[in-house]
Amino acid sequence: MSNGISKKSNMKILILGSGVIGTTTAYYLARDGHEVTVIDRRGRPGLETSFANAGEISPGYASPRAGPGIPQKAIKWLMMAHPPLILRASLDPAMIEWMLRVLANCTSKAYAINKARMVRIAEYSRDLMIALRAETAIAYDERMQGTLQLFHEQKQVDAAHKDIEVLEQYGVPYQVLDRAGCIAAEPGLANSPATIAGGLRLPHDRNRRLLHLHQ
């Protein structure tokens, strides 16, 4: 078995979307002997989600959207002039069930479980990407200087221990930095007027970029 489909089946498979997920899925299926066709509504591959993302490979930062404090933040987001979250009132039973399940996962216990699951699969995906690059000789622009997550307040630095426990559990290298350490890792912060209480750096992440300041 490979990718959940038997090599002996020799299936004809149609994949909708030629982004990163679609093309890699097609590659593995074709390698296993299946007849694969990929179609996309755009004229060329990778022009939607795969084009618009940040280009980051940060398995250690994989986190569920649902977590402690999110319901309160969601209310604040909805009241903003340019809200990052939009909810349209609906009596659709599926939507109501989904919202209740999200709320049920906004606990510390559920967050820890879901975070651990996401980090495991993200680390596995990163390892597959490394193997795929070696197998296909695909080359692209990349930087391997790690990622840096900044915190405004000390309480946010202290709260990071929940994520750090997961990183330690799965052997993901990390560094907890104070303001001086953050500036040493990213010298451009030296002239920033923002308050920086500390940061969490994952040195093995790729395509270095400064992550958003936590609100």
**Arithmetic mean of pLDDT, 133-142:** 84
Asked whether residue 140 carries a pLDDT value surpassing 80, the answer given is: no
- What is the reported pTM? 0.71
CB-CB contact of 148 with 211 (8 Å): yes
In this structure, are residues 157 and 151 in contact, taking their beta carbons and an 8 Å threshold?
yes
Residue 61 to residue 44: CA distance in whole angstroms = 30
Give mean pLDDT, residues 46-54: 83
Condensed to tens digits (0 to 9), the pLDDT of residues 177-186 reads 999 999 999 9
- Work out the mean pLDDT of the chain and round it to a whole number: 86
Is 118:65 a contact under the CB 8 Å cutoff? no
Contacts of 139 (CB under 8 A, 6+ apart): 133
| Helical segments of the chain, H only | 20-31, 49-52, 70-78, 93-104, 108-136, 154-159, 161-169, 179-185
Note the pLDDT of residue 210.
39
Per-residue pLDDT band for 8 (boundaries 50, 70, 90) equals low
Nearest-angstrom CA–CA distance, 175 and 182: 10
In Å, how far are 26, 59, 114, 116, 171 from 163, measured between CA atoms? 34, 12, 11, 9, 12
**Token digits for 180?**
């001086």
Structure confidence by residue, pLDDT tens digits, 146-193: 889 999 999 999 988 888 988 998 888 999 999 999 999 999 999 988
Q: Cα-atom radius of gyration of the chain, to the nearest Å?
A: 21
Pairing of strands 175-177, 147-151: unpaired
As given in the structure block, the two tokens for residue 42 are 């755009």
For position 215, what pLDDT does the model report? 37
Distance of CA 171 to the CA centre of its chain: 18
pLDDT tens per residue across span 70-116: 999 999 988 898 888 888 877 889 989 999 999 999 999 999 899 99
